[in-house]
Amino acid sequence: MFRGKPIHVKRDDLIDPCLSGNKFRKLYALTIADPSKYSRVISYGGNQSNAMLSIACLCHQKEWRFEYVTKTIPEHLRADLTGNLKNALSLGMQLREVSALEYEGVISDLKEKYPLYSAPVDQNQKTLFIRQGGADPLAESGVNVLAAEIEAWRVEKNIDFLSVITPSGTGTTAFYLAKALPGLSVYTTALIGTTEYLMKQLRQLGEIPQNLHFLETEKKYRFGNLYPEFFRIQNELKSSGVEFDYLYAPKTWLSLAENLDAINTQLLYVHSGGVSGNETMVARYKRFFERMGK
Ligand SMILES: *Cc1c(COP(=O)(O)O)cnc(C)c1O
């Protein structure tokens, strides 16, 4: 129950011990790939990214070399490695740090070398390049499996009208989910940047499906920042029995709360995982509330 309304939760966070939630879906095509298909994977993004840890874990299992490009990590993190970065490094990830100034250039060179819509394999080196956060057409087949599971569940439960909600970082999961489920409404909210920015990114994957809807919150939130209301809604959700992540889920639930009256179908929230980062986030909130003097 959430604010007086029953909401179903698809526990994709429990799907795989290595690849959490939607990272399993987005990387699914690789999980079933023959290990000999690749020898090296390159990706890039933030130094505590959930996608980074998932790719590191997958590459470890497949014995593929994994190179990850990120901006020079701050000294305090280097001195005391924590969270997803620590775990990914212990799985053999090779970190390639570049300065903030060089970063965009290095990434655009990589994108040029490994174009999105051509075969993703570099035949000589068996190198696979994965766009930040798995925002890659590679993700479609795995998200289609998720969509098929949702559809089978809907039929089994005799639910005629169903809406699905899931958070958007890159929006890849929401995009392919809406594409695969044209008969349902798919709701999402932009976590990184504005809705306009998200839509612009999504157009790189194709035309935005008509049934994909973007929810807003009255207040603007910055990705990665801490907000008392995020912590409060986390506790509210936890007391209803499910633990969610602190980066994506709180704003998604807040956007749902603000728009709940307008959605008059049954609702399914796809839990996209990310709970592995909670330990670090709880410690950050503890310091945050101490500074605020609460
Ligand atoms: C990675 C992640 C997302 C973002 O998924 P996209 O497909 O990039 O939109 C959302 N929620 C959690 C918990 C994640 O780890």
* Cα distance between residue 52 and residue 33, in whole Å: 19
The helix (run of H) or strand (run of E) holding residue 173 is helix 172-180
CA angle 167, 168, 171 (to 5 degrees): 140
In this structure, which CATH number among 3.60.20.10, 3.40.50.740, 3.90.1150.10, 3.40.50.1100 belongs to the domain 21-138?
A: 3.40.50.1100
pLDDT at residue 123 in the model: 62
CA angle 89, 130, 151 (to 5 degrees): 105
Helix, coil or strand: residue 208: coil
pLDDT at residue 120 in the model: 53
* Cα distance between residue 244 and residue 25, in whole Å: 18
- CA–centroid distance, 294 to ligand 1, in Å, is 31
Q: Are 123 and 114 in contact (CB under 8 A)?
A: no
In the structure encoding, which two tokens stand for residue 293, read together? 């003097």
Q: Is 22 in the pocket of ligand 1 (CB under 6 A)?
A: yes
Q: Are 2 and 240 in contact (CB under 8 A)?
A: yes
Q: Is 201 in the pocket of ligand 1 (CB under 6 A)?
A: no
Angle between helices 249-259 and 228-239 (to 10 degrees): 80
pLDDT digits (tens, 9 = 90+) for 67-86: 999 999 999 999 999 888 99
| Substitution candidate for ligand 1 out of 11, 22, 253 with most atoms within 8 A of CB | 22
pLDDT digits (tens, 9 = 90+) for 184-228: 999 999 999 999 999 999 999 999 999 999 999 999 999 999 999
pLDDT at residue 116 in the model: 66
* Cα distance between residue 276 and residue 48, in whole Å: 11
Q: How many residues does the chain have?
A: 294
Q: pLDDT per position in the chain (294 positions), as tens?
A: 888 899 999 999 999 988 989 999 999 999 999 999 999 999 999 998 999 999 999 999 999 999 999 999 999 999 999 888 999 999 999 999 999 999 999 999 999 888 765 455 556 678 999 999 999 889 999 999 999 999 999 999 999 999 999 999 999 999 999 999 999 999 999 999 999 999 999 999 999 999 999 999 999 999 999 999 999 999 999 998 999 999 999 999 999 999 999 999 999 999 999 888 888 889 899 999 999 886
Rg from Cα positions in the chain:
19
Give the number of the atom of ligand 1 that is nearest the alpha carbon of residue 244. 13
Please name the fold of domain 8-16+139-292.
Rossmann fold (3.40.50)
Residue nearest to atom 5 of ligand 1 (CA): 169
Please give the full DSSP string across 65-90, using - where no structure is assigned: EEEEEEE---HHHHHS--HHHHHHHH
E-only strand ranges, 74-218: 94-98, 121-122, 127-129, 162-165, 185-188, 212-214
Q: Are 192 and 167 in contact (CB under 8 A)?
A: no
- CA–centroid distance, 204 to ligand 1, in Å, is 18
pLDDT at residue 75 in the model: 94
Give the number of the atom of ligand 1 that is nearest the alpha carbon of residue 172. 7
Residue 240 burial (C-beta neighbours within 10 Å; 0-12, 13-18, 19+) = exposed
- Residues 6 or more apart whose CB falls under 8 angstroms from that of 294 comprise none
Q: Is 171 in the pocket of ligand 1 (CB under 6 A)?
A: yes
DSSP 262: G
Q: Is 166 in the pocket of ligand 1 (CB under 6 A)?
A: no
pLDDT at residue 293 in the model: 82
- CA–centroid distance, 62 to ligand 1, in Å, is 23
pLDDT at residue 117 in the model: 52
- Indicate the residue type of 237: L
pLDDT at residue 118 in the model: 47
Question: Where do the CATH 3.40.50.1100 domains begin and end in the chain?
Answer: 8-16+139-292, 21-138
